[in-house]
Structure formats: structure tokens, C-alpha cells
Amino acid sequence: MSQDEFLSNWESQARKGTLELVVMAALATKEFYGYELVEYMKARCGMSVSDGTLYAILLRLKNEGFVRYRWEHAATGPGRKYYELTRQGAAALAGMRTTWAEITRAVDRATEG
């Protein structure tokens, strides 16, 4: 495996490990429909995520009880599914933020100078 291939794989794995945290943090600010959430993540975080990846994450979070959704029917065009964080999701997010802070401090210490 070349260095470029290794780094590409490493980046992919690192992103997978953080996408749930980023999605939940976004949903803690307000409710989003799918495409709006994709655009928010791109603008706010510089993270591009495919619709398929996002919906798989949202389904997983819904099955865990961390996210719920509601349908909003549009006068024109298709309806939209709006996602929001549940109380259980907010508690999980608080724990995830604590863990993330611990991980980033440890990695920062390990990679300094």
C-alpha cells in the first residue's frame, strides 16, 4: 500500500468516527431536513457527506433513540423529513463531547513537536 493510499484510508476511517458527533452537534442547534443538513455540514465544518452516508447515520441514531423525525408536507413538491435530537440524544452528545475533548487533548500531546 502506498503512502497516499494509506493516508486516504486513514482519513476515511477518521471521518467515519466523527460524523455521528458532527451530525448530533448540528441537530443540537436546530432541526434540519436531510439536504439542509448536508449543506450545513459543508458550510460550517467543511465536511462533504453523501446523502446515503447521512441517511444511514440518521437511521442509526434514530434506532438508538437519539434522533426523531417528523414529516412536513409541502404545498408544492415533496414533503420533507425534519430531524431533531431527543433528550436522550442530547445526553449522549454531552458524553461524546467529553470523550472527544479527552481524545483531542491526548492526540495533541502525542503529536506536539
> What is the CB neighbour count within 10 angstroms for residue 93?
20
**Under 8 Å between Cβ of 33 and 80:** yes
Predicted confidence (pLDDT) at residue 113 exceeds the cutoff of 90:
no
The cell numbers describing 41, all together, are: 455540514
Q: How far apart are CA 29 and CA 23, in angstroms?
A: 10
pLDDT at residue 30 in the model? 96
pLDDT in tens, 56-109: 999 999 999 999 999 998 788 788 999 999 999 999 999 999 999 999 999 999
More confident site: 68 or 8 = 68
Close Cβ partners of 57 (under 8 Å, ≥ 6 residues apart): 19, 20, 23
Quote the strand ranges of the chain, DSSP E: 32-33, 67-72, 80-85
